[in-house]
């Protein structure tokens, strides 16, 4: 049962440490979804809330034991990055074909699950002005940028490229601690050098125009820059009513924040290029 799971900080994806009755962690709230599947809230270890990412199990590979390569990549990558405080915490997972019939019927035949800590909301929701958190102060926004930058720097130092940096993939706690999530499109630099990525980044609006396949760390930096602009102005730059001229100078009242953002970007540019 999920309530009995005790995972190490760096689990072996083949060990399948999370198994058992899916219906015992209830699905009271739908948190979001996409082509991969959906995320809902649940309970683990008794009364502790968690977020459950349910994969549709598309594109399974016989070479990976019938598992979805994107699911395998996400679990493997998350397990190796758990030591950083600004990477979302993975509590466990269930791979396709590991559940009994009762479980499969309850969760959806062939679904792959990743159980993670539940956060308060996403950075995208804060930018849009929806969700449970109030508008963050300038100092708080600087903290969010530092958290995301720190997580990305750690990933790059470990040889990984995220390939889908955007506000929706940044989660926030009630105290505005930011954590990076969604590692299904992540590859190592070595894998990318060997041509592992054959498709463009998951979100084309955040992809570097010169490198649509996002095959190097600098592509993540480009995406990070777009995220920073939106955190500074607290607007979605891709919504028609919020269009702004990115060549315009920033508001003088946000000069201190832009100095921090500039320092973050310049620091990472030295590493990425």
Residue 251 lies in a domain: yes
Domain-embedded: residue 8: no
Residues 186 and 96 in one domain: no
Q: Which residue, 77, 93, 117, sits at the end of a domain?
A: 117
Same domain, 32 and 141: no
> Does residue 252 lie within any of the structural domains?
yes
What pLDDT, on the 0 to 100 scale, is given for residue 250? Answer: 52
1 lies in a domain?
Answer: no
The answer to whether residues 147 and 177 touch, using CB atoms and an 8 Å cutoff, is yes
The C-alpha atoms of residue 210 and residue 46 are separated, in whole angstroms, by 49
CB-based contact 1:81 (threshold 8 Å): no
Whether 2 is covered by a domain: the verdict is no
Residue 235: its pLDDT value, please?
A: 86
**Where in the sequence is the domain holding 87, given as residue range(s)?**
13-117
Shared domain for 99 and 128, answered yes or no, is no
Query: How far apart are the C-alpha atoms of 29 and 238, rounded to whole Å?
Result: 28
Residue 61 maps to which CATH number?
3.30.200.20
In this structure, are strands 48-55 and 37-44 parallel, antiparallel, or unpaired?
antiparallel
Q: Is residue 5 part of a domain?
A: no
Q: Is residue 220 part of a domain?
A: yes
Binding annotation: 53
Residues 113, 96: contact at Cβ < 8 Å?
A: no
Model pLDDT, residue 47: 77
CA atoms within 13 A on the CB side of 208: 17
pLDDT of the residue at 104? 45
Residues 48, 101, single domain; the answer is yes
Cβ neighbours of residue 226 closer than 8 Å, sequence gap 6 or more: 166, 205, 206, 237
Last residue of a domain, one of 117, 143, 165: 117
Domain boundary among 117, 152, 172: 117
Instruction: Provide the pLDDT for residue 69.
Output: 81
Instruction: Tell me, yes or no, whether 134 and 162 share the same domain.
Output: yes
The number of distinct structural domains making up the chain is 2
Annotated binding site for ATP: 53
- The residues facing 117 across adjacent strands are 50
Q: Tell me: do 138 and 96 sit in the same domain.
A: no
> Residues 51, 66: one domain?
yes
Query: Cα–Cα distances in Å, from 147 out to 70, 92, 94, 141, 225?
Result: 25, 24, 29, 10, 14
Encode the chain (273 residues) as per-residue pLDDT tens digits. 333 333 333 333 333 333 333 333 444 577 777 666 788 888 877 778 899 998 765 545 444 455 678 888 899 999 999 999 999 999 998 876 554 444 443 444 557 889 999 999 999 999 999 889 999 998 999 999 999 999 999 999 999 999 999 999 999 999 999 999 999 889 999 998 888 777 767 688 888 888 777 888 989 999 999 999 899 888 887 774 555 555 455 555 455 555 666 666 665 545 443
Q: What pLDDT sits at residue 203?
A: 83
At residue 131, the pLDDT reads: 84
């Amino acid at each position: 049962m999920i309530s009995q799971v005790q995972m190490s900080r760096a689990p072996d994806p083949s060990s399948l440490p999370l198994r058992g009755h899916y219906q015992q962690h209830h699905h009271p709230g739908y948190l979001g979804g996409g082509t991969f599947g959906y995320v809902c809230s649940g309970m683990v270890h008794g009364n502790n809330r968690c977020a459950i990412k349910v994969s549709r199990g598309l594109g399974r590979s016989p070479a990976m034991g019938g598992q979805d390569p994107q699911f395998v990549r996400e679990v493997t990558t998350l397990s190796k990055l758990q030591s950083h405080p600004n990477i979302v915490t993975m509590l466990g997972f269930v791979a396709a074909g590991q559940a009994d019939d009762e479980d499969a019927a309850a969760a959806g035949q062939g679904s792959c699950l990743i159980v993670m800590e539940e956060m308060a909301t996403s950075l995208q929701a804060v930018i849009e002005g929806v969700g449970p958190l109030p508008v963050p102060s300038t100092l708080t926004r600087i903290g969010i940028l530092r958290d995301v930058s720190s997580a990305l720097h750690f990933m790059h130092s470990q040889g990984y490229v995220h390939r889908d940096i955007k506000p929706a993939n940044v989660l926030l706690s009630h105290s505005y601690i930011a954590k990076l999530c969604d590692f299904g499109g992540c590859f190592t630099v070595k894998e990318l050098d060997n041509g592992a990525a054959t498709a463009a980044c998951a979100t084309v609006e955040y992809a570097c125009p010169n490198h649509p396949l996002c095959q190097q760390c600098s592509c993540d930096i480009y995406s990070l820059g777009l995220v920073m602009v939106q955190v500074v102005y607290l607007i979605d730059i891709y919504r028609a009513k919020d269009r702004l001229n990115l060549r315009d100078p920033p508001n003088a009242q946000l000069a201190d924040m832009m100095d921090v953002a500039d320092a973050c970007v310049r620091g990472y540019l030295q590493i990425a290029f």
